[in-house]
């Protein structure tokens, strides 16, 4: 079956370029088509240049079309079996639900049998999807990238600490070997001194008492110095052992912190994935709540005490993605303790970041939650990742 060329869809050039090609692919193709861009050209300018080229049946458009045919060969092969608009729409819906929107969109644009009506319907879905996804994911992706950068820095610090620890162990082993050699030498000297002492006993009959006394004192002083040196050597060995033990504890702490960061990243990824889908498939009304696929926190109210006031909006949005309402109290910075008591009566659970809340607010939360038997979680930090981890833990506890 003949295929439609990309330049025959002049009205759809923008979504074709923006949906089917990544920015990295556009820059690679710009070199192949010998596209001359101004210094420091933005991604938007690069996109605009290719949209213009795609409308003309010239060599650049043919190179781009050949590249996309090769990239989406498998998807185009499936669409080649569809003959009617109904079959094309059914296959588009199936692949779009599976997340393969670029391949399905390009296959429809190249399909000779697709009518203008089905092309317009599919274009409308791609157009609206780009608005929804672009608006909801950019901030989350930026925060995820920042968290990943923190994880990378922690991994680098851990690798450096391991190197330092290995070097310290090597130094300790060398020092221990040196000390063992010194100890062996000292033992040999002590044995020699003992042999000399035995020889002195044999010489008692031939030497004067004064001379023997001088020799005895000299030997006693030498023995005392040797014993002092031995004690110093043993103390140094113990000190080195304590240093190594401290290094092992520090490494264990770093491993624990890295594990916590990994859990936070997993929670952020879960929140990001769930943000692409409705969080309440039932629409908020369930005949059978136990079998509802919605989050178990749906309809619950979580109070967040402390944190950063500038993130209140993000705290609420994150709670909505878990299906719950997040109330915020600044922990006594500007809001009163009486207001905190009012919010605690409304909440089903409480989350406190230990790095950004007052001791008085923490004590009040503990006391009131203990009295009302409400769960309270103390997050490691006031960031969104820690709140996501806490909400995930509460959601799991509700199951």
Residue 305 sits in a domain of what CATH number? 3.40.50.1370
Is 123 contained in some domain?
Answer: no
Based on the fold, state whether residues 94 and 24 are members of the same structural domain: yes
Question: Per the domain annotation, does 127 fall within a domain?
Answer: no
Residues 177 and 264 in one domain: yes
Question: Does residue 316 share a domain with residue 251?
Answer: no
Boundaries of domain holding 240: 148-275
Angle, helix 101-110 to helix 85-97, in steps of 10 degrees: 160
What is the predicted pLDDT for the residue at 141? 47
Rounded Cα distance between 84 and 86, Å, is 5
**Are residues 271 and 152 located together in one domain of the fold?**
yes
Residue 124 located in a structural domain: no
The pLDDT of residue 238 is: 92
pLDDT in tens, the chain (399 residues): 557 888 888 888 888 888 888 988 888 888 888 888 888 888 888 888 888 888 888 898 889 889 988 988 898 888 888 888 898 898 888 888 888 889 888 888 888 888 888 888 888 888 787 766 544 445 544 665 677 788 888 888 899 999 999 999 999 999 999 999 999 999 999 999 999 898 888 877 777 777 878 888 999 999 999 999 999 989 998 999 999 999 999 999 988 887 787 577 556 645 554 553 445 555 445 555 555 555 677 888 999 998 888 888 898 998 888 889 999 988 878 888 888 888 888 999 999 998 877 888 888 888 888 888 889 998 888 888 888 888 888 888 776
**Domain ends where: 66, 96, 114?**
114
Calculate the alpha carbon distances from 216 to 192, 219, 226, 227 in Å: 14, 5, 15, 16
- Give me the torsion for CA of 185, 190, 192, 194, rounded to 10°: -170
For residues 168 and 264, membership in a common domain is answered with yes
d(CA 208, CA 240): 48
What is the rounded CA–CA span in Å between residue 41 and residue 44?
A: 8
Number of H helices, E strands in the chain: 13, 4
Q: Are strands 376-379 and 325-329 parallel, antiparallel or unpaired?
A: unpaired
187, 270: one domain: yes
Residue 142 lies in a domain: no
Q: Please check whether residue 286 lies inside any domain of the structure.
A: no
3-state secondary structure 329-346: ECCCCCCCHHHHHHHHHH
In a domain, 348, yes or no: yes
**What local confidence, expressed as pLDDT, does residue 184 receive?**
92
Is residue 161 domain-shared with residue 271, that is, in the same domain?
Answer: yes
161 and 270 share one domain: yes
How far does CA 153 lie from the centroid of its chain? 11
Sign of the alpha-carbon dihedral angle for 380, 382, 386, 392:
positive
Q: What is the predicted pLDDT for the residue at 164?
A: 92
Domain count, the chain: 3
Predicted local distance difference test score (pLDDT) of residue 273: 45
Adjacency order of strands within the sheet including 325-329: 325-329, 301-305, 349-353, 376-379
136 in a structural domain: no
pLDDT of residue 219: 93
Q: What is the pLDDT of residue 127?
A: 79
Structure-token pair, residue 275: 């943000």
Could you tell me if 334 and 376 lie in one domain?
A: yes
Query: Among residues 294, 304, 323, 312, which one has the least CA distance to residue 365?
Result: 304
Domain boundary among 94, 114, 134: 114
297 shares its domain with 225:
no
From the list 64, 65, 94, the residue with the least C-alpha distance to 82 is 94
| Main-chain phi, psi angles of 316, to 5 degrees | -65, -45
């Amino acid at each position: 079956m003949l295929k439609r060329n990309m330049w025959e869809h002049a009205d759809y050039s923008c979504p074709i370029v923006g949906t089917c090609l990544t920015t990295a692919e556009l820059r690679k193709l710009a070199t192949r088509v010998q596209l001359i861009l101004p210094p420091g050209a933005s991604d938007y300018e690069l996109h605009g240049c290719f949209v213009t080229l795609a409308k003309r049946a010239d060599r650049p458009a043919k190179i781009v079309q050949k590249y996309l045919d090769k990239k989406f060969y498998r998807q185009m092969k499936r669409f080649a079996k569809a003959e009617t608009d109904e079959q094309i729409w059914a296959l588009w819906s199936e692949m779009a639900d599976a997340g393969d929107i670029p391949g399905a969109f390009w296959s429809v644009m190249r399909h000779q049998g697709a009518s203008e009506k089905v092309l317009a319907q599919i274009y409308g879905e791609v157009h609206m999807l780009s608005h929804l996804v672009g608006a909801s994911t950019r901030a989350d992706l930026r925060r995820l990238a920042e968290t990943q950068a923190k994880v990378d820095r922690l991994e680098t610090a851990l690798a450096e600490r391991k190197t330092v620890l290995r070097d310290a162990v090597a130094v300790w082993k060398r020092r221990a070997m040196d000390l063992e050699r010194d100890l062996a030498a000292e033992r040999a000297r002590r044995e020699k001194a003992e042999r000399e002492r035995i020889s002195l006993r044999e010489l008692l009959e031939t030497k004067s008492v004064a001379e023997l006394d001088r020799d005895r004192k000299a030997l006693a002083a030498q023995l005392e110095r040797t014993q002092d040196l031995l004690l110093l050597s043993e103390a140094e060995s113990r000190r080195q052992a304590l240093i190594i033990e401290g290094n092992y504890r520090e490494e264990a702490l770093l491993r624990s912190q890295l594990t916590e960061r990994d859990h936070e990243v997993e929670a952020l990824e879960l929140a990001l994935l769930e943000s692409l889908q409705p969080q309440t498939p039932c629409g908020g009304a369930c005949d059978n709540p136990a079998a509802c696929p919605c989050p178990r926190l749906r309809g619950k109210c979580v109070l967040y005490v402390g944190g950063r006031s500038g993130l209140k909006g993000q705290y609420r949005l994150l709670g909505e993605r878990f299906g719950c309402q997040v109330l915020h109290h600044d922990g006594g910075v500007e809001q009163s303790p009486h207001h905190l008591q009012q919010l605690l009566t409304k909440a089903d659970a409480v989350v406190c970041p230990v790095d950004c809340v007052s001791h008085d607010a923490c004590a009040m939360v503990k006391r009131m939650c203990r009295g009302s038997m409400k769960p309270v979680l103390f997050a490691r930090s006031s960031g969104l990742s820690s709140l996501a981890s806490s909400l995930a833990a509460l959601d799991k506890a509700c199951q």
